[in-house]
Structure 1
Amino acid sequence: MGSSIFFLFSFLGFLFAILSLVKAEPLKNTRLFREYIGAEDKNVRFSDVPIHSDVEFHFILSFAIDYTGSSSPTNGKFNVFWDEENLTPSSISSIKAKHSNVKFALSLGGDTVSDGTFAFFKPKSITSWVNNAFTSISHIVKEYDLDGVDIDYEHFKASPNTFTECIGQLLQRLKRQNIISFASIAPFDDDTVQSHYMALWRKYGDLIDYVNFQFYSYGEGTTVSQFLNHFDAQSSNYEGGKVLASFATDGSGGLTPEKGFFKACTTLQSRGKLHGIFVWSADDSKKNNFRNEIQAQNLLANVE
């Protein structure tokens, strides 16, 4: 009896020692660049945007919304609200043929529908919304040959738990049936928004590949040190997630390239925390010939 107990404790001690050596692979710098495109109907085309061959480039089509064109909610039946005239399935095929490093995603929700009405998350029930969303999104993904989904709801008429189950179950089905290969969320610093997205992260974070945190939602005049503090705070909120650095080219706020954004990125890179960069948006960057996008991709291409 004594020898059996001794053997058991010895085995458990050995097993504990082995497990203590096994750690999750730490997050690290990447060469991921992402850009939202198509929300403002400014005739921007995929071919207008410079693409560095040494980065992983994601175009994020903005937006697909579960509303009709007359701004009536449709309970998960998504329709295309981006610039369909210029951002077509054939133009996606053309870019993919020229650039093997480019992938495409569609973003769900956004701020407003085309007439300025808020795009509310407003499901009738979890089951009906998920079923409708899966069917309609699968159709759009296949029609446009897309690779991923981004979740960018910003206004809510449902609880965090309902949002969590609707989005979580949707991503689960889309990934399990190989409709999409990656997913991201796009929260920002607002109590209501954060309560919804952090609840989703806690339960379904394993399905979410990237956190497109909208750091440009912070005030104008954000400094480098403030940005780095914000980045650390959001990395803690979405612990274990690939939180991407971001800036906007529409003058909305946050740390801008002119005020030190790339300096902050270099600091993150030195700490092994530059998991990628995303930009809002190509529509606004066209007027400046995408100079900030070029600089961002050059920085990422040199990531060690």
Structure 2
Amino acid sequence: MAFSKLHIVLFALLALTFFREYIGAEFNNVKFSDVPINPNVEFHYILAFAIDYTTSSSSSPTNGKFNVFWDTDNLSPSQVSSIKNQHSNVKVALSLGGDSVNGGSCYFSPSSVDSWVSNAVSSLTNIIQEYHLDGIDIDYEHFHADPETFAECIGKLITTLKNNGVISFASIAPYDDDDIQSHYLALWKSYGHIIDYVNFQFYAYDQGTTVSQFMNYFQTQSSNYGGGRILASFISDGSGGLAPQNGFFTACSRLRNQGKLGGIFVWSADDSKALGFRYEKQSQALLAAHP
């Protein structure tokens, strides 16, 4: 019994130290080495995005055959290896889907559960191994499939990749929208036990969100994704949610003191580059500090 209590305490402490940042979607030459890395947090870069669409200008769905859509000139396999070799606390993941592809909405469009999972496992294993990656993130935001189909496809994908030793962690990135939540909550209900982090997009709430509103939103989503490690989040360009300069770190400190803060993630390094990554530094300093 003492061991289990100790394990819970250690898990709680570790849960405070996760910092994650999306990178590479906007092709503005941001590099891994541009982003400040605090050695006292576990730092995850999330490459955005791998998408099961063709790479031609008139992209179309490929039923789970993923291609790389991030800035490979600056975020190549050798650069992944380099940043991980330089920093023992760094892991790198890739995110699936995203909002758009070549100017149009990016849809989750499986032909069937089995065919999509088979194609996804094969294509993603190749990409993950080529790029020396550690995990995946699920960020589909438009669907040509019902919630149950989405849940089975993604759940079986994560299960297989973990069982095959291809990835060590997985996250999801929902936000507060009825269609989005119906799909991700179905996934959570059936497969929440294999999902390690919930990158909830709190910046999708209205611009000008207050600290008290943010705290309420966080509580609501913690209930929706019960038992999950929920990360607080902000968007670098300040276009939505609770901005860093308007109380985001106050809210995070309160959550941490309550033992509820699973970490912080940012969208995205591409936009933060122009700001000198000041809020990344502040986020990591807060996470690294003792409560």
Residues 16, 256 of structure 2: 8 Å contact kept: no
Q: Secondary structure at the match of 1:149?
A: strand
Residues 30, 303 of structure 1: 8 Å contact kept: no
State how far apart, in whole Å, the 2-side matches of 1:49 and 1:84 are: 17
Pairwise CA distance, 1:251: 2.5
Q: Which position in structure 1 is the counterpart of 2:232?
A: 245
State how far apart, in whole Å, the 1-side matches of 2:8 and 2:142 are: 35
Write the letter of the residue equivalent to 2:55: G
Deviations 1:187-238 (A, max 9, x none): 0000000000000000000110000000000001100000000000000000
State how far apart, in whole Å, the 1-side matches of 2:176 and 2:275 are: 28
Match for residue 254 of structure 2 among 267, 270, 274? 267
Q: Which position in structure 1 is the counterpart of 2:132?
A: 145
For residues 38-57 of structure 1, the aligned pairs below 5 Å read 38-57=24-43
Q: Which position in structure 1 is the counterpart of 2:281?
A: 294
Q: Which runs of 5+ in 1 are unaligned?
A: 1-17
State the percentage of identical aligned residues.
Answer: 64
Match for residue 128 of structure 1 among 115, 120, 132? 115
Q: Which position in structure 2 is the counterpart of 1:116?
A: 103
Match for residue 17 of structure 2 among 31, 38, 41? 31
Deviations 1:246-303 (A, max 9, x none): 0000232000001000000010011011110000000000001100000000001114
Residues 130, 169 of structure 1: 8 Å contact kept: yes
For residues 8-87 of structure 1, the aligned pairs below 5 Å read 25=8, 28=12, 29-70=15-56, 71-87=59-75
For residues 196-207 of structure 1, the aligned pairs below 5 Å read 196-207=183-194
State how far apart, in whole Å, the 1-side matches of 2:191 and 2:259 are: 25
Larger Rg: 1
Deviations 1:131-183 (A, max 9, x none): 00000000000000000000000000100000000000000100001000000
Write the letter of the residue equivalent to 2:106: A
Residues 130/32 of structure 1: CA separation in 2 closer, same or farther (3 Å cut): same
Write the letter of the residue equivalent to 2:42: E
Q: Secondary structure at the match of 1:204?
A: helix
Match for residue 216 of structure 2 among 210, 229, 238? 229
State how far apart, in whole Å, the 1-side matches of 2:260 and 2:148 are: 30
Pairwise CA distance, 1:37: 0.1
Q: Which position in structure 1 is the counterpart of 2:168?
A: 181
Q: Which position in structure 2 is the counterpart of 1:284?
A: 271
Q: Secondary structure at the match of 1:57?
A: strand
State how far apart, in whole Å, the 2-side matches of 1:264 and 1:181 are: 30
State how far apart, in whole Å, the 1-side matches of 2:290 and 2:19 are: 12
State how far apart, in whole Å, the 2-side matches of 1:30 and 1:251 are: 24
Deviations 1:12-47 (A, max 9, x none): xxxxxx9xx99x948734200000000000100000
Match for residue 79 of structure 2 among 88, 91, 96? 91
- In the alignment of these two chains, the number of paired residues is 284
State how far apart, in whole Å, the 2-side matches of 1:150 and 1:252 are: 22
